[in-house]
Amino acid sequence: MATETLVPLESNPEVMNKFLQNLGVPGNWAIVDVMGLDSEMLSWVPRPVISVLLLFPISENYENHKKKEENNILSTGQEVSSNIFYMKQNISNACGTVALVHSVANNCDKIELSNGPMKKFLDDAKGLDAAARGALLEKTEAIINAHKELAQEGQTTTPSADDPVNHHFIAFVHKDGALYELDGRKAFPINHGPTTSDSLLEDAATICKEFMARDPNEVRFTVMALAAAD
């Protein structure tokens, strides 16, 4: 159950990169905009890409698909790597922070975190289940305060924490040969099938297109990537 409501992070790479760097992520990794999902536009994204983030509107079609997907997995099962880092989202409007934590936590073999709030959180979260990790984030003031500080920055007018928000951030990562969708509002990670570190961006783009196809009249989708900085 959500215990606090935050002002959401803006889908702005500059804001998100400042947030990550404040938490100890080095500047050689950065959030960048993905301007289109066709092969030509994807070719402009710096490589390697270690996470893809999707911001999308929560609609009736999305909720119906979410319920159907969960029921299918519960009935047929899915393989989930024991190495995947997944956490539940307990704080309203913290989906941007949760997506960024998922992006970093599943790439600690590539990201050399400095001593700071992110490294401490991930160290403390080792061995915990998804619910306990979500509860731990609620109590990690350094990360929550960084979210609050950066939520006041950006190019758009800062909303109130009480304003209704119908957009949601999720992350896609590669782990042990599979593409995982990490959504703190879902019951578990979603295994979308085989991928590689080289094809993560293209394979995640395919799933992003499926989100868009479920709401063909909706245009409020944003795709970003955590990639090697120039």
Q: Rounded CA gap, 102 and 196, in Å? A: 18
Q: Which of 95, 102, 174, 208 is catalytic?
A: 95
Cis peptide before 164 (omega within 30 of 0): no
Coil/strand/helix, residue 117: helix
Given a contact cutoff of 8 angstroms between Cβ atoms, the answer to whether 87 and 139 are in contact is no
C-alpha distances in Å from residue 121, one per residue of 117, 124, 136, 147: 6, 5, 8, 14
Q: Which of 147, 168, 174, 208 is catalytic?
A: 168
Is there a catalytic annotation at residue 108? no
Is there a catalytic annotation at residue 168? yes
Q: State the Cα angle at 165 between 163 and 168, rounded to 5°.
A: 155
Catalytic residues, by residue number, are 95, 168
